[in-house]
Structure 1
Amino acid sequence: MNFDSVDSNIFFTELEEFDETKKLLTELKTLSKVKLKKIMKISDKLAELNFLRYQKFESLPAKQAILAYDGDVYSNIDKKTFSHEVLRFSQDHVRIVSGFYGLIRPLDKIRAYRLEMSIKLAKNAPKGLDRLWQEKITRKLNNDLKTHENKYLINLASNEYASAIDRKLLEVPMINIHFREFRDGVIKNIALNSKRARGMVVDYIVRNNLDVPEEIKNFNNSCYEFNLKLSNESNYFFVKNYGS
């Protein structure tokens, strides 16, 4: 996450807070650095950082989510060049799944945290955060999509975060986007490159105002091409061929 600076020229929206977030914060505040290190499987340095984050959470600076997240996916969304029109389109068409906040719009202001979806918390998420959030997130997605003419959910989340969506409760078709690479005659999934590609597709969708799934098939950044043979109506595969 990157909270080094906040651009006051970019508009923001207030986060719709779920009761679950407040309960999670209350529990996280009770955990020691040693406990956080064990639960999150992180270093002493990161345990110290996140312990302090939760203890001082209400006083931390807030920033638009799409600008605050800065990992491999988000660094491949060229958000610094987004016009206000593109930002508005992203606000209407993109949702971010979070282990701490549940479901976030790109321009919702958030504070720094660390809480991966796979984590279990004794009081509030003994079966995992994905189980805690499933119904809330899915119902919110259903509600948001009611305003759309084309009702599809394009899944660009990792399996860990997509598990927070209840497929049985979801009222619209979900299309999963996959990335593969053709190396030495074998099609492989390179996890890091797939993360980066997911960000590129988000950028491609919002920058081109795409609202029909079929249009995503034209994505060809970084030598990826839509693969008709591997794909079906629920799964779009994009393959990078190093031999071409």
Structure 2
Amino acid sequence: MKTIILIPPSEGKAEGGHNEPLKAVSGITADLIEAIKEADPKKLYGLKEKALEKAITVNKEILSSRTMPAMERYTGVVYDAIEYKTLKNKSDFDQKVLIVSGLFGLVRPTDLIPNYRLKIDKLKAAKLWLNSNSEQLKDKFIIDLLPQAHKKTVKYDNGIEVEFVLKKAGKKMPAGHQGKHIKGRFVRWLIENNITDQKHFSDFTEEGYKWTGDVFLKEI
């Protein structure tokens, strides 16, 4: 059974691109682009002034702006921690990792995408993608590193949700923003060590996290 690692996109994205524009899209992506045009920008983006203007412009140019591979486009903490450029076995990463995008569904690391702005909880994107995404994950073993909002876009029969948890004074709490970096390191570790089974998770101990059998826990 093939192993698939699910990760979220990043809100931060590199601008520009060195590949041709998409020019045309179909299906759910096309429907969402039309919905973006009709939506109230302030409600859709939750931004003001220059940031709002920039988001509007970026989405107006989805089909005309130049593209780049997804692993170059996304620039958030998870992606910085993966350090994709220095991976020795990029082909393994490209085959196993899928990015859950609000606009494009399941995105491969090498897929060419434009700059865009759409959170997964807007325009019913999660609901729209659920059936399509889930169909693509059939007969796969899933290592799920998705935030709660993105988990609503997928269903799978075989897999494990991986959570990073902090414990302070006996109380447990989600790792939150700190968890983004360790998620990226974990993904890199999975790929570099060809890990496809949770029985090996206890070998991962970066940044003081230890696998309990249910979650990665760090006492602070």
Q: Name the structure 2 match of 1:133.
A: 129
The percent of aligned pairs where both chains have the same amino acid is 23
CA distance in 1, matches of 2:59, 2:18: 24
Candidates 100, 105, 110, aligned match of 2:108: 105
Cα deviation for residue 92 of structure 1 reads 1.2
Cα deviation for residue 21 of structure 1 reads 0.3
**What RMSD over aligned residues (CA atoms) do the two structures have, in Å?**
2.1
Q: Does 1:19 align with 2:27?
A: yes
1:50 counterpart letter in structure 2: A
Q: Does 1:162 align with 2:162?
A: no
2:146 counterpart letter in structure 1: A
Candidates 87, 91, 103, aligned match of 1:88: 91
Greater strand percent: which structure?
2
Residues 25-36 of structure 1 correspond to what in structure 2 (within 5 A)? 25-31=33-39, 35-36=40-41
Q: Which runs of 5+ in 1 are unaligned?
A: 9-13, 121-127, 232-236
CA distance in 2, matches of 1:26, 1:239: 43
The normalised TM-score by structure 1 is 0.76
Equivalent position SS for 1:239: strand
- The one-character-per-residue Cα deviations of 1:97-128 (angstroms, maximum 9, x if unpaired) are 111001101111111111111113xxxxxxx2
Cα deviation for residue 79 of structure 1 reads 1.2
Higher normalized contact order (CA 8 Å, seq sep 6+, divided by chain length): 2
Most deviating of 93-102 and 63-72? 63-72
Equivalent position SS for 1:95: strand
The normalised TM-score by structure 2 is 0.84
Cα deviation for residue 141 of structure 1 reads 1.6
Q: Name the structure 2 match of 1:3.
A: 14
Equivalent position SS for 2:122: coil
Q: Does 1:241 align with 2:215?
A: no
Q: Does 1:218 align with 2:203?
A: yes
